Amino acid sequence: MTKLAFVFPGQGSQTIGMEADLVETSLGKEKFEKAEEILGWSVLETCRQDEANLSRTLYTQPCLYVVESILIDLLLDKAGYLPQYVAGHSLGEYSALYAARVFSFEAGLRLVQQRAKLMDTAAGGKMVALMKIDRAQLDSALDKNNDVVLANDNSPQQVVISGTPEAVDSILSEVKAKRAVPLNVSGAFHSPLMASVAQDYKQLLDEVSFGEAIVPVLSNVNPTPTIDATELKTRLMEQMTGTVRWRETLLKLAEEDVSQLIEVGPGNVLTGLCKRTCPEMELQNISRAAECQL
């Protein structure tokens, strides 16, 4: 039996026009209207306007969640089934939890809205993506510096570090990398510097009821598949300050005999990472309503 996993991209995958043909479907129209009621602004208009505004955390995160949620519902409607596993990269974990029916679309969007507001106000940190690095050298440098951490472990040769600007710059001066790309974010996401933001978020998260997942979810901070509601909520809370262990997530899916991986959402970042980590997997991207016929 072929095992299938759906994975959902996070911040950085957004693009103008990503709403595309989704609004032409009844499911999409309904979700866009519901989202506007909750958010107080239009996801459709935001996805059609300037890229700078869409790329602001405050708007990026709700827009991605809404677009990915619509694709999930279209896949369920047209294909009639979910995969054996789901996982999402950073913000994408919310889409994965919605796909697994851990919470409703509305509950998930409210969480994402508050997460985006809190993260948009974060300040005083820096994040840099490093490509083609000496991993042993990086790990050694990080071990010696308490003010910078591995925020995203994306693949053996692609990571993101996060911390105070001084500490991040210190690592950059010590570690060889083919490319070092500063990320356009307001704070040091997925690091201990987000602890105060995480505490504010916890109060909101505690108010939301989580149900048992209908398919196992692999979380960013712990890629062990689980359907347990309490565990999934705990992991989501830890994600605010913890490392996105995406490389391990892909390796775990391979260990679970997943042979087909579908990236649901805009772009192809996650399938690109999978090519380098699990090249034997069959890969597919779904970002349009027309592509939801499996």
Among all residues, which ones are annotated catalytic?
A: 90, 190
If 0-12 CB within 10 Å is exposed, 13-18 middle and 19+ buried, where does residue 52 land? exposed
**What is d(CA 71, CA 66) in angstroms, rounded to the nearest whole number?**
9
Give the strand order in the sheet containing 258-264.
217-218, 85-88, 3-8, 258-264, 282-286
Q: Which residues make beta-bridge pairs with 153?
A: 159
Expressed in percent and rounded to 5, the helix, strand and coil fractions of the chain are 50, 20, 35
Helix (H, G, I), strand (E, B) or coil at 41: coil
Q: How many CB atoms lie within 10 A of CB 184?
A: 12
Q: Which residues contact 236 (CB under 8 A, 6 or more apart)?
A: 93, 94, 97, 205, 219
